[in-house]
Amino acid sequence: MATPHNLLLLIDGYNIIGNWTSLKKTRDRHGLEQARRELVESLVNYIAHSGYQAQVVFDSQYRKTPSSLEKYSPNLSIYFTAWAQTADTYIEKVCASFFHQTSPAPPRLIVATSDRDQRLTVVGYGAEWMSAQHLANEINLSTHQVRRKQRPRKRSQGRFLFNCLDAKSQARLARWQQGTN
């Protein structure tokens, strides 16, 4: 079985933005830059918690610029395609070349997109597919698990219900036990 260390999660950035309600609202109100920032912020903790390598891919959005790669953390990078290259073509190239790598454990590649044609293509190359909604659910679950682990635990003061009551209720219960109100 593949470990997180030989797993690459490729994320079709604008497809995810277009499929998550919260990111669509941000995009429509504040623009693509803010929506990209929110997507990356939501991914940072998820990627750190999962241990995956992840790359978010964005089209160059009609800017005549070369491709660029930005590292946000040791496991998360953002790739902007070059002029005239789409995120889809970049993802397809990665899928085509990924399985030619030689390593002791077989690599695992997951592509997160809700583009049906892209799904068929990446699965055809042997990659796994994850819908935008599934990625959102995974991130929410991871966030919930991290918060639950960080939540301070209440110290049990014994196995009796009496010990769980506040001081006023304990006093009232003691009076009842003594037959006084």
Reduced 3-state DSSP string for 141-167: HHHHHHHHHHCCCCCCCCCCHHHHCCH
What pLDDT does residue 146 have? 78
- Does the pLDDT value for residue 32 go beyond 50? yes
Whether the predicted pLDDT of 19 surpasses 70: yes
| Adjacent-strand bridge partners of 58 | 80
pLDDT in tens, 55-112: 999 988 666 778 888 898 889 999 999 888 899 999 999 998 877 765 666 578 999 9
Q: 50 or 35: whose pLDDT is higher?
A: 35
81 and 58 Cβ atoms separated by less than 8 Å: yes
More confident residue, 147 or 161: 147
pLDDT tier, 177 (very low <50, low <70, confident <90, very high otherwise): confident
pLDDT at 1: 35
DSSP, collapsed to helix, strand or coil, labels residue 111 as: strand
Model confidence at 2: pLDDT above 60: no
CA dist 18 and 87 (Å) reads 14
Question: pTM score, two decimals?
Answer: 0.74
Beta strands 7-12; 108-112: pairing state: parallel
Q: How far apart are CA 143 and CA 138, in angstroms?
A: 9
